[in-house]
Amino acid sequence: MAKKNKIKHFHTNKVIHLSTHEEKPTIGELQEMVGGHIQLVFDSSELALQIIADDDGKLKGKSMNDEATLEWYRLLSLDKDKSWYSYEEFVSQVDWLAGDIVFLHKDAMLD
């Protein structure tokens, strides 16, 4: 008897870009977008950009978001002298972003 191939369903991680809103996204809306409690993983007023991730994304088994992680690495290399994030600590841990990630641009940034 021939084996039936099982179709595996998987979630493709999204990168969501928000640039202008009549109102800033609420914490609840951001939590819904990332699928959990939010974590601000990048915050640059100079670049007018914030990056939001699920705080427990890796613990929940969410896969690496390649597109968001590569952009995050690029941005951290531009912003490595800023004190809000320890670049050396980041490099030593080789961190990555998991699950759906939200990029907040300009007017959509949290206060």
pLDDT of 49: 93
pLDDT of 40: 96
Q: How far apart are CA 19 and CA 50, in angstroms?
A: 11
Which class for 57: exposed (0-12), middle (13-18), buried (19 or more C-beta within 10 A)?
buried
List own/partner pairs for 53-59 with CB under 8 A and 24 or more apart.
Answer: 53/97, 53/98, 53/99, 53/101, 53/102, 54/98, 54/99, 54/100, 57/97, 57/98, 57/99, 58/98
pLDDT of 31: 97
Residuewise pLDDT in 10s, the chain (111 residues): 555 555 544 557 899 898 876 678 999 999 999 999 999 999 998 889 999 999 999 999 999 999 999 898 888 777 655 545 555 555 556 788 999 999 999 999 998
Name the token pair of 66: 């390649």
pLDDT of 82: 56
